Structure 1
Amino acid sequence: MKFDFDAAHGYSNNHKPELEKVHVCGCFSCLEIFNPQEIKEWIIDENDCDERGTAICPKCGVDAVIGESSGFPITKEFLTEMRRKWFGL
């Protein structure tokens, strides 16, 4: 299946309200899948990307978290493709 990874990336920031309502999210840096309740650190700043809160992955400390509310699959396969696109790995 082909995905719009640019659109998916838009769901990786400014997403605290959405992540607080779901049960599954994943990190496209470390490829871990976890419950958003594990997130303890958020970037909250006065800019368009972080004013509502951007999650920091509790497993690796990178702001590359995407939740199931994005509509994209939170699977190892999808996260691996996201990592390839955004981190070149």
Structure 2
Amino acid sequence: MTEKRLLTKEEIVGLLYVLHHSSFRNEVMIANSEVCGCFYCNSIFKPEEVTLWCDDDGKGARTALCPRCGIDSVLGNACGVKIVPNLLDLMHCQFFGGDLDEVLDRIKATKDEKKT
């Protein structure tokens, strides 16, 4: 059995940028999701709770606004990732400021604790 390789910080940041794209014009993705999360306020909620949208200009799908804070930073699990607090923390740090290294260290420490 091969051991899983940890992603580098650069690889993680690259993935965060790919995910960030999923927060725009995401109406279809939200409708196809079972759980959503906001990487501004770190709330996790059901897609049915999203009732406000922006980018309603007829040029494509609308963009979800968080039902808790009203910011357009909503991801749904239909984008291919599990919506968990650690992911939202990483996204928040990358796109709204914060110490990305601190969050990565906390996640690594949690994983190390589970191994012992």
Shared fold per TM-score greater than 0.5: yes
Return the structure number with greater strand share.
1
What CA deviation, in whole Å up to 9, does each residue of 1:27-50 have, x standing for no partner?
000000000100110111255xxx
Aligned residue type for 2:86: E
Match among 14, 29, 44 for residue 33 of structure 1: 44
Q: Percent of aligned pairs with the same residue?
A: 34
What CA deviation, in whole Å up to 9, does each residue of 1:11-39 have, x standing for no partner?
00111012112210100000000001001
**4+ residue segments displaced more than 4 Å:** none
Aligned residue pairs total 86
| Structure 2 unaligned regions, length at least 5 | 1-5, 99-116
Aligned residue type for 1:32: S
Aligned residue type for 2:31: E
TM-score, normalization by structure 2 = 0.69
Residue 88 of structure 2 corresponds to which residue in structure 1? 79
Return the structure number with greater helix share.
2
| Cα distance in 1 for residues equivalent to 2:34 and 2:43 | 14
| Structure 1 unaligned regions, length at least 5 | none
Aligned residue type for 1:73: K
Based on CA coordinates, which of the two structures has the bigger radius of gyration?
2
TM-score, normalization by structure 1 = 0.89
Alpha-carbon RMSD: 1.3
